[in-house]
């Protein structure tokens, strides 16, 4: 499937590679359609850039029974809890080499001065115990403010579930999210969220899902064709995507409640890049049913379809303002190479946000303040630079470059807490799903097997 941007080809399966990939120095600056302003450090995302992180110690939980299954379950729990808190972006994790001797499995084990003083110098302490017994595992966990000796407890929780590694993983995620919620300004954690993406590891491009940290990778569809552009509904019950049916690209719908595809009307033409409105009642997508591709909106059932772009395109990749539902960002080739635009959800009040290079795949932050997108600022044979992920403040049109490691970086998607971004990158040789904090730090791959692309982060 291909659509034309000016004289260049835009493929929904794969964008063109470039031989001139180069590492680009960090650029923090302001850009408007009139030109470029002096560099300045301005952006503040949900990671709290410029705010001191909370220094937190997380000693391994202690076994509180003699069950031989404790060893495996404790390793799973301790690893997942540590990784969740480290990934949160709001903590400074105290190295375990600084921890005092002895395990901390209960409140009576806490010696405040050994944690609040040197060398740990911790502000917060996470500790607890785990016990397998019969078919169940029980986890008790606490969060202490070790600087407050008189009233240290911030959180105390007990969880019971089946004694399996998967159930133990879920308990660790739940406890981590509780800690992040308490210490992260009342913003829900993302340890229980999902990421959906396209994987070709089975021989066909199918829709897959995984936990936010890359665990539990599994296929959603097994259609034996080409499926692209997964987008999950705000309530997590349905997944819209584009799939090749015979010779036509159609929007398809998968129900997680029924664990199967459900009917969605065939539209005709080439239909791609579906996106949900924040209230889950509408879909925006790109369709060529009227000739050249435009942006259309339909009800969740596929009814009441109407076009909201009128100019020549192509027009692709619509995404709603997740805060207001009143605006849509999209990529349009109306002036030649694709650029990022916004408009009202009814197609009015069109604003242009990039005016150079090759800009595609916009995604709106949960708070509605930022757009993140893929941008090759200098496009053409021999041009310096690479295809990188950028973040832009919607009000001021100031932008920051987030990726600098070469390769093709595309299809960014926000985590529901606004602190993380997932994207595809070819920097390691093959196309894989990567994640980073919203300030561009802590970049790491989530997939390594086969080719994986077009990630979409669940809304909760």
Report DSSP letters for 18-30, one per residue.
Answer: -TT-------EEE
Rounded Cα–Cα distance for residues 175 and 173 (Å) = 6
Cβ contact 377:385 at 8 Å: yes
Which residue is it, tokens 């509780």? 178
Cβ contact 163:195 at 8 Å: no
- The per-residue pLDDT of the chain, averaged, comes to 89
Rounded Cα–Cα distance for residues 300 and 295 (Å) = 16
pLDDT confidence bin for 51, thresholds 50/70/90: low
Model confidence pLDDT, tens digit, residues 152-185: 999 999 999 999 999 999 999 999 999 999 999 8
Cβ contact 459:443 at 8 Å: no
Cβ contact 302:314 at 8 Å: no
What φ, ψ does residue 175 adopt, rounded to 5°? -65, -40
**Given this model, what pLDDT does residue 12 score?**
34
More confident residue, 32 or 292: 292
Q: What angle do CA 123, 129, 135 make, to 5 degrees?
A: 150
Model confidence pLDDT, tens digit, residues 58-98: 999 999 999 999 999 999 999 999 999 999 999 999 999 99
Rounded Cα–Cα distance for residues 284 and 282 (Å) = 7
Cβ contact 285:307 at 8 Å: no
Phi/psi-derived region of residue 418, left when phi > 0, alpha when psi is between -120 and 50, beta in every other case: left
In the three-class reduction of DSSP (H, G, I as helix; E, B as strand; rest coil), residue 190 is classed as coil
Share of the chain above pLDDT 90, in %: 82
Rounded Cα–Cα distance for residues 171 and 381 (Å) = 52
pLDDT confidence bin for 44, thresholds 50/70/90: low
Rounded Cα–Cα distance for residues 367 and 43 (Å) = 14
pLDDT confidence bin for 21, thresholds 50/70/90: very low
Model confidence pLDDT, tens digit, residues 386-410: 899 999 999 999 999 999 967 899 9
Q: Residue 458, class by beta-carbon neighbours within 10 Å (0-12 exposed, 13-18 middle, 19+ buried)?
A: buried
Model confidence pLDDT, tens digit, residues 430-448: 999 999 999 999 999 999 9
pTM: 0.88
pLDDT confidence bin for 4, thresholds 50/70/90: very low
Model confidence pLDDT, tens digit, residues 346-385: 999 999 999 999 999 999 999 999 999 999 987 766 666 6
Q: Are strands 91-93 and 54-57 parallel, antiparallel or unpaired?
A: parallel
Model confidence at 22: pLDDT above 90 = no
**Given this model, what pLDDT does residue 366 score?**
96
Model confidence at 453: pLDDT above 50 = yes
**Given this model, what pLDDT does residue 382 score?**
64
Model confidence at 24: pLDDT above 50 = no
pLDDT confidence bin for 321, thresholds 50/70/90: very high
Model confidence at 26: pLDDT above 70 = no
Model confidence pLDDT, tens digit, residues 97-122: 999 999 999 999 999 999 999 999 99
145 beta partners: 124
Q: Count of alpha carbons within 13 Å of 258, Cβ hemisphere only?
A: 9
Model confidence at 6: pLDDT above 60 = no
Q: Count of alpha carbons within 13 Å of 212, Cβ hemisphere only?
A: 29
- The mean-pLDDT minimum among 167-176, 286-295, 444-453 falls in 286-295
What φ, ψ does residue 457 adopt, rounded to 5°? -90, 135
Model confidence pLDDT, tens digit, residues 257-279: 999 999 999 998 999 999 999 99
Model confidence at 291: pLDDT above 70 = yes
Model confidence at 14: pLDDT above 60 = no
Rounded Cα–Cα distance for residues 219 and 200 (Å) = 10
Answer positive or negative: Cα dihedral of 389, 395, 397, 401: negative
Model confidence at 27: pLDDT above 50 = no
pLDDT confidence bin for 25, thresholds 50/70/90: very low
User: 378-382: long-range contacts (C-beta < 8 A, 24 or more apart)?
Assistant: 379/337, 381/20, 382/20
């Amino acid at each position: 499937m291909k659509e034309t941007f000016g004289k260049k080809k835009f493929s929904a399966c794969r964008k063109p590679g470039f031989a001139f990939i180069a590492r680009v120095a960090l650029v923090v600056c302001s850009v408007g359609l009139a030109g470029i302003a002096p560099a300045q450090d301005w952006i503040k995302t949900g990671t709290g850039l410029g705010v001191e992180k909370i220094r937190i110690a997380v000693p391994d939980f202690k076994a509180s029974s003699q069950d031989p299954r404790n060893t495996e379950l404790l390793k799973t729990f301790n690893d997942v809890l540590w990784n969740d808190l480290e990934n949160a972006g709001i903590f400074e994790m105290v190295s375990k080499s600084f921890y005092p001797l002895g395990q901390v499995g209960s409140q009576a084990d806490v010696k405040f001065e050994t944690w609040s003083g040197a060398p740990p110098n911790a502000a917060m302490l996470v500790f607890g115990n785990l016990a397998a017994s019969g078919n169940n595992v029980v986890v008790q966990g606490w969060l202490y403010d070790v600087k407050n000796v008189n009233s240290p407890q911030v959180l105390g929780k007990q969880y019971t579930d089946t004694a399996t590694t998967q159930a133990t993983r879920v308990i660790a995620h739940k406890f981590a999210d509780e800690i992040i919620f308490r210490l992260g300004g009342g913003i829900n954690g993302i340890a229980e969220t999902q990421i959906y993406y396209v994987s070709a590891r089975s021989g066909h491009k199918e829709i897959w899902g995984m936990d936010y940290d890359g665990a539990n990778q599994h296929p959603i569809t097994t259609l034996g064709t080409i499926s692209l552009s997964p987008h999950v509904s705000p309530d997590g019950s349905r997944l819209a995507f584009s799939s090749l049916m015979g010779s036509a690209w159609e929007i398809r719908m998968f129900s997680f409640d029924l664990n199967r595809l459900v009917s969605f009307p065939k539209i005709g033409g080439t239909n791609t890049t579906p996106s949900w409105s924040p209230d889950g009642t509408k879909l925006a997508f790109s369709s060529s049913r009227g000739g050249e591709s435009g942006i259309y909106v339909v009800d969740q059932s596929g009814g009441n379809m109407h076009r909201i772009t009128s100019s020549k395109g192509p027009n692709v990749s619509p995404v709603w303002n997740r805060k207001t539902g009143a605006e849509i960002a999209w990529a349009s080739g109306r002036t030649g190479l694709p650029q990022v635009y916004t408009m009202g959800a009814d197609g009015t009040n069109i604003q242009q946000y990039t005016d150079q290079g090759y800009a595609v795949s916009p995604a709106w932050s949960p708070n509605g303040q930022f757009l993140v997108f893929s941008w090759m600022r200098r496009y053409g044979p021999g041009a310096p630079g690479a295809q990188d992920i950028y973040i832009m403040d919607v009000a001021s049109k100031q932008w920051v470059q987030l990726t600098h490691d070469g390769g093709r970086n595309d299809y960014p998607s926000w985590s529901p807490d606004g602190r993380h971004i997932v994207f595809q990158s070819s920097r390691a040789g093959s196309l894989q799903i990567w994640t980073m904090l919203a300030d561009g730090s802590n970049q790491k791959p989530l997939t390594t097997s086969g080719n994986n692309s077009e990630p979409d982060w669940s809304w909760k």
